[in-house]
A and B are shown apart, each in its own frame.
Chain A
Amino acid sequence: MQKRVVFQNRWLPYLLVAPQIVVTLVFFIWPAYQALETSFYIEDAFGFSRTFVGFENFTRLFNDAGYLRSFWTTLVFGLSVTVLSMSMALALAVAANRVIRSATTYRTFLIWPYAVAPALAGVLWFFMMNPSLGIVAYWLEAIWGYDWNHYVNGNQALLMVIIAAAWKQISYNFLFFLAGLQSIPKSLIEAAAIDGASPTRRFWTIVFPLLSPTTFFLLVVNLVYAFFDTFAIIHATTSGGPADATSILVYKVYSTGFVGQDYGSSAAQSVVLMALVIAMTFIQFRFIERKVQY
């Protein structure tokens, strides 16, 4: 945790941590405390006075069908993004780990989407799937006669943001899976091959179990990404619609607070989300960090 040999100075260390601590207190801790406090009050329509209501904001929230539906949407969205991007990334990483020549070229062409902002990923797919002129929508119609219109169909809108969110995350997962695969000793695979295990069997009985620390780590990171970092994708494209079909929890905090101006409810939602992040961070550090190998 700390050095054996340290410097002695009465005031310098405080000066050194001061900038970080000031920013943390002013822009992180204080707002979080404010959210916590506001969640126990209801403000009148003009913002002149507020009344302490205990847990009423929370009970209202969990009796609100719209909020519960948003929970469900978030879960579907998060799991779909995670499974989709992780499975595609794993397939790509396994393939990239097998090629010897041109491996770097492949890697180069697979990692760049990491740098694309979620908002832009959303906009790109929004264009591709636009019902009137998007190329994907056109193909769906021309080849299968499938009518794509995410402005009207909630499930299609959800699918669109899932694809956009997963698309952006593939390269991240790919890099970690590739690192994981490269750390598996070749001798294990060779021994199994000599014993006559087929490539499929080798993958499922040796490679995949040895990869599990990476997989668990990515599982948590991807869920956190899908739950919190995808706000931009939704805000820039569907704006939570149609009819709240893509309104995930982070989007709901924003729409309740900024658009709906219901501060008590928005604060209560913030508190719920904070609890969620804290739980996920805890899981990440408690159960996963120690087992991950790079």
Chain B
Amino acid sequence: MVENRPISQILTHVVLILGIVFLGFPVWMALVASTHPGEALAQSPIPMWFGDQGVANYTQLLTEGSPAVGGVALSTMLMNSLLMALGITFGKIAISLLSAYAIVYFRFPFRMLFFWLIFITLMLPVEVRILPTYDVVASLGMLNSYSGLIIPLIASATATFLFRQFFLTIPDELVEAARIDRAGPIRFFWDILLPLSKTNIAALFIILFIYGWNQYLWPFLITTDQDLYTIVMGIQRMVNVGEGLPIWHLTMGTAILAMLPPVLVVLAMQRLFVKGLVESEK
């Protein structure tokens, strides 16, 4: 057995605790700031322990919003974020399942061409083709709409590859058995393939939900209508307030609310999350 010295054991825990503190500290400060009245954050040093305005601040944010964003209630923004995140997640999973199914279980002309077309999307992140994509969405009349927020982001090479990889591990005997029982391709997909893919879908769901929720540039570009702001993008209006100073206690409250849903998803479904993360990167 490898030696076990108490010193190195202590060092191990020290490293881990330092890491946790480093990762947690910014969130701690944000959380603390969001429970103070605005005046408490006017001069340095700012408080390191909770104030008594937490309930009032969060109530104000959720019902009236921050004056910096023209008073859009954060509950509206959270709802928009949720709709966008779920739309992207379901959209990606649905169209990727279908295309992976077609590519693995059928032989048809141009199959490989389709495969490569999907592959290419990996190399074209939104950030590098901002303007032309914006033009396309504008000419389709999809600016300021949920479909504009969701549809352009639902193509997914990663999800397609993941499902393709998984379908390839499913034994051929299942298809043969299904065919003997006279099940057609749609029946096979619905009754056999889909139930078998449940765990993979769930794992991918977590990763894609986080991806969708955290979108920033895209909603920023195509929504000018305040009622369609998502929370991750909306916070930017509270930080960049031109000449004035940000209203810090409200801005930090918004940051906390914006990160809460995806963080909770990760913590609640840790095992699935790790599985999804490791597999979608293969």
CB distance from A211 to the nearest CB of B (A): 15
Classify the interface of chain B: helix, strand, loop or mixed.
helix
Cβ-defined contact, B106 with A20, below 8 A: no
Cβ-defined contact, A20 with B107, below 8 A: no
Cβ-defined contact, B235 with A267, below 8 A: no
Most chain B CB atoms below 10 A, which of A28, A236, A277: A28
From 15 to 38 in chain A, residues with beta carbon under 8 angstroms from any chain B beta carbon are 16-17, 19-21, 23-32, 34-35, 38
Classify the interface of chain A: helix, strand, loop or mixed.
helix
Cβ-defined contact, B33 with A17, below 8 A: no
| Chain B residues positioned under 8 Å from A137 (CB to CB) | 44
| Chain A residues positioned under 8 Å from B140 (CB to CB) | 26
Task: Decide if B188 is an interface residue (CB 8 Å cutoff).
Answer: yes
Q: CB-nearest residue of chain A relative to B14?
A: A95
Q: CB-nearest residue of chain B relative to A289?
A: B282
Q: CB-nearest residue of chain A relative to B4?
A: A98
Cβ-defined contact, B233 with A13, below 8 A: no
Among A120, A133, A235, A253, the residue within 8 A (CB) of B41 is A133
CB distance from B24 to the nearest CB of A (A): 7
Q: A21-B117, A123-B251, A228-B128 are in contact. Are A5 and B30 (CB under 8 A)?
A: no
CB distance from A192 to the nearest CB of B (A): 9
Task: Decide if A68 is an interface residue (CB 8 Å cutoff).
Answer: no
Q: CB-nearest residue of chain A relative to B121?
A: A28
| Chain B residues positioned under 8 Å from A229 (CB to CB) | 125, 127
Task: Decide if A247 is an interface residue (CB 8 Å cutoff).
Answer: no
Task: Decide if B62 is an interface residue (CB 8 Å cutoff).
Answer: no
| Chain B residues positioned under 8 Å from A123 (CB to CB) | 235, 239, 251, 255
Instruction: Give the CA-CA distance A127 to B129 in the complex, in Å.
Output: 31
Using C-beta atoms within 8 Å of the partner chain, give the interface range for chain A. Answer: 35 or more
CB distance from A70 to the nearest CB of B (A): 14
Cβ-defined contact, A106 with B16, below 8 A: yes
Instruction: Give the CA-CA distance A158 to B70 in the complex, in Å.
Output: 31
Instruction: Give the CA-CA distance A21 to B219 in the complex, in Å.
Output: 23
Q: A190-B1, A199-B8 are in contact. Are A135 and B152 (CB under 8 A)?
A: no
A-B contact pairs, 20 of them (CB 8 A): A7-B188, A13-B111, A20-B96, A29-B120, A31-B129, A32-B129, A88-B22, A95-B15, A96-B16, A109-B24, A110-B19, A119-B216, A123-B251, A124-B255, A231-B216, A235-B217, A253-B127, A253-B128, A274-B124, A281-B123
B residues near A, CB below 8 A?
1-3, 8-9, 12-13, 15-16, 19-20, 22-27, 29-30, 33, 41-46, 48, 94-96, 98-99, 101-108, 111, 114, 117-118, 120-125, 127-133, 135-137, 140, 151-152, 154-156, 160, 167-168, 172, 175-176, 179, 184-186, 188, 210, 213-214, 216-217, 220-221, 232-233, 235-236, 239-240, 245, 248, 251-252, 255, 258-259, 262-263, 265-267, 270, 273-274, 277-278, 281-282
A residues near B, CB below 8 A?
2-7, 9, 12-14, 16-17, 19-21, 23-32, 34-35, 38, 88, 91-92, 95-96, 98-99, 106-121, 123-128, 132-135, 137-138, 142, 167, 170-172, 175-176, 179, 189-190, 193, 199, 217, 221, 228-229, 231-232, 235-237, 239, 250, 253-254, 257-258, 263, 266-267, 270, 273-274, 277-278, 281, 289, 292, 294
Not counting A125-B26, A274-B124, a sample of 12 additional A-B residue pairs whose C-beta atoms are within 8 angstroms of each other reads A20-B95, A20-B160, A28-B155, A112-B263, A115-B263, A124-B27, A133-B42, A133-B46, A253-B130, A258-B221, A274-B123, A294-B282
